[in-house]
Structures are given as C-alpha cells and as structure tokens.
Amino acid sequence: MRIATRGSRLARWQAETVATQLKALGHEPELVLVKTEGDRDQQSPIWELAGRGVFVKEVQAAVLDGRADLAVHSAKDLMSIPTIGLKIIGCLKRGNVCDSLIGTRLHELRDGAVVATGSVRRKAQLSNIRPDLHFVGLRGNIETRIGALQSAEIDAIVVAAAALERLGIVNVISETLDETIFVPQVGQGAIALECRTSDETIGEILTNLIDLNTSECVQAERSFLAELGGGCDLPVGAHATKTGEVMTLTAVIATHDGSTIIRDEKTGRHPASLGKDIADSLLNDKGGASLLYSRERPEM
C-alpha cells in the first residue's frame, strides 16, 4: 500500500496518520515522497499559484502512473475540478478549521502593524476589521514561516491552527481567530484521500478511514468553489458544519483590500446542491459577480 505525499514535515505527519490507520486494518503501507511545483517554486506569491494545484499535481501523477496506490492531500490544496483518472474517496475527521495569529493578538497589534501571510483571503478579512494593517507575503514550511517573526519589520504572521496542532507547536499561537468571523479556506483542516478511479479495491479500503460528516462538509465547500471557477484568485472562503442531517454552509467573496466582503449562509441536506446554491446567491443576488470578474490584483 504505497502512499504518495509531499515531503514536508506537515505532509509527512498527515501521510503517516493515514499509514497508522491502514496498519491497524492489517495493511503494510509505505510512503512515496514527491516534490511538487509549489515546493520547488519558493519565489512566486501563493496567491499567484491559486487554483493551479501546484501542491498536488505531482503527487497525483505518482498515483496515476502506478508509483503509488493512493495520495494524501491537505484538502485545501486540491483543485475544485476533479482530476481525470482519480477519485477523492473522502476525508479523515477534520481538525481545527481556524486561522491563527502568531506574534500578538489582533486587538493588540499597533496601528499600521505589518502582518505576513501568503493568503489573499486572510489579508482581505483582516483588512476588513483592521484597515490600518500592512501586509507582506509569506512562503515556506511552518517552521520557516514562524521564523519570519525574527524580522524586526514583521509584527505577526497568520497560519492554519490545524498545522500548528498537528506539529505540536501550539505554544506559539497568540490568538485563534473565530471561524464565524474569519471564514476559513475551502477544505481547511481536512485531510483528503485520493486513488485511481479504476482501483476499486483501494477505494473500498479507504472508505474505512473517512469521516462522513467531514467528507460531506468539504464536498459542499468544494462545490461552492467549483461554481466560482477552478482558477478563482479572489479572496473567498467557505465553511460547512453538519448537525444531524442538516448542513449549514457559510461563504464569503471579498475584494483584495477587504473594503467589500459579501457573505451568505444557507442550510440544506445535499452538499453539492448547497455549494452551488450559495455560490449562485453570492454571485447573482448579492452582487458578487462584479467582484469575480473585475480581477483586481492584490498589493502584496
């Protein structure tokens, strides 16, 4: 049972978590480490790479060409449009969906403080609440990002809380941002499992690992993103939760400077339909289409 994964410490943690669960089922997994375009290109801003699958394509190729039997991904890195020849079986039980500030709490940041992030979504939502803030880009693995705080020019950085929790470095968190205000990235905190469409045996094995609620919530979020267009580079976020049979999906579309944020929340029972419905509402009823097609570029 060969598991394709990126080689970063966080990616390996995710793949090893899957390997441990497979071992418990009597399998003998091994990791196949893959270097992706996103790993090689450390110069381009993350927002320029949005929607291109730069952290997953080479991992997927390893499965497609038979070097591996399955792939483990951070669900937020997956393109919204399925890859031909592959199927997403589902996700493990979701971790923390929130963003975290490292360095200081939001209300304690000085006027005109500099925040480092590679995410236009994080920049837009923070700017909406604190328009005085300035932003610089941020790349690299979690350790490299935390190290950016050594610069006297940076007051705080923003990273996913789940990454810090999985690596056991939660002591650096100054504040966990409320997900009901700072809507997370699609798929944030979820680990996705993918295999060849033709490989029914592997698919059946992987179904034993997935969490149904998480998988359906991520499906709704991805349906929303797909409806906007697979290459959408606007600041967008979506977060779904499920209680009983009813799912609640919150989604946002924003301008890059955060001056305008369009938000909606809907409930439903069918993930794909719910994602499409909220996208339609934001684009057509709430005026989001004008933002989507303006294609303004961020100042980061």
Task: Identify the burial level of 276 via C-beta atoms within 10 angstroms of its C-beta, where 0-12 means exposed, 13-18 middle and 19 or more buried.
Answer: middle
Q: How confident is the model at residue 291 (pLDDT cuts 50, 70, 90)?
A: confident
Asked whether 80 and 220 are in contact (CB, 8 A), the reply is no
Q: What residues are annotated to the active site?
A: 76-77, 121-122, 139, 145, 232
CATH superfamily membership of 1-92+190-210:
Periplasmic binding protein-like II (3.40.190.10)
CA–CA distance, 227 with 128 (Å, rounded to integer): 25
**Apex 40 CA angle, 38 and 46, nearest 5:** 35
The whole-angstrom separation of Cα 208 and Cα 214 is 14
Band (143; pLDDT cuts 50, 70, 90): confident
Residue 57 in this model has a pLDDT that exceeds 80: yes
Q: Tell me what pLDDT residue 46 has.
A: 56
Tens-digit pLDDT profile for residues 34-47: 987 656 655 555 55
Rg (CA), the chain: 19
243-284 pLDDT, tens per residue?
Answer: 999 999 999 999 989 999 999 999 999 999 999 999 999 998
**Concatenated DSSP letters of 207-227:** TTT--HHHHHHHHHHHHHHHH
Residue 229, pLDDT score = 78
Question: Cα(22)–Cα(217) distance, rounded to whole angstroms?
Answer: 23
First CA to last CA across the chain, in angstroms? 42
pLDDT of the residue at 231:
47
* 31/42: higher pLDDT: 31
Residues β-bridged to residue 68: none
The three-state (H, E, C) secondary structure of 23-82, written as one string = HHCCCCCEEEEECCHHHHCCCCCHHHHCCCCCCCHHHHHHHHCCCCCEEEEEHHHCCCCC
pLDDT tens profile 75-129? 999 988 889 999 999 999 999 999 999 999 999 999 999 999 989 999 999 999 9
CATH architecture of 99-176: 3-Layer(aba) Sandwich (3.40)
Interatomic CA distance for residues 250 and 22, integer angstroms: 33
Per residue in 149-168, pLDDT (tens digit) is: 888 899 999 999 999 999 99
* Residue 44 CB burial class (10 angstroms; 0-12, 13-18, ≥19): middle
Q: Which residues are paired to 116 by β-bridges? A: 136, 157
List, in sequence order, every residue forming a beta bridge with 74; answer none if it has no partner: 191
Q: Is the pLDDT of residue 140 over 90?
A: no
What amino acid is encoded at 7 in this protein?
G
In this predicted structure, what is the pLDDT of residue 42? 55
What element of type H or E holds 201?
helix 200-206
In degrees and rounded to multiples of 5, residue 163 shows phi and psi of -65, -45
**H or E element that contains 99:** strand 99-102
Tens digits of residue pLDDT in 205-236: 999 999 999 999 999 999 999 998 754 567 89
Joined tokens for residue 211: 């969490």
Tracing tokens 């399998």 back to the chain, one arrives at 27
Higher pLDDT, 141 or 259: 259
Answer positive or negative: Cα dihedral of 261, 267, 268, 270. positive
Distance CA 290, CA 296 (A): 11
d(CA 185, CA 94): 13
Write down the domain spans for the chain.
1-92+190-210, 99-176, 211-295
Q: What is the pLDDT of residue 178?
A: 97
Quick one: pLDDT at residue 250?
A: 98
pTM recorded for the entire structure: 0.91
Structure-token pair, residue 45: 């801003």
Question: How many angstroms separate the Cα of 177 from the Cα of each of 15, 74, 107, 173, 300?
Answer: 27, 20, 11, 10, 21
Given the candidates 3.30.160.40, 3.50.50.60, 3.40.50.360, 3.40.50.300, the CATH classification of the domain at 211-295 is 3.30.160.40
Asked whether the domain spanning 211-295 has the same topology as the one spanning 99-176, the reply is no
The confidence score (pLDDT) of residue 38 equals 59
pLDDT, residue 93, reads: 98
pLDDT in tens, 177-205: 999 999 999 999 999 999 999 999 999 99
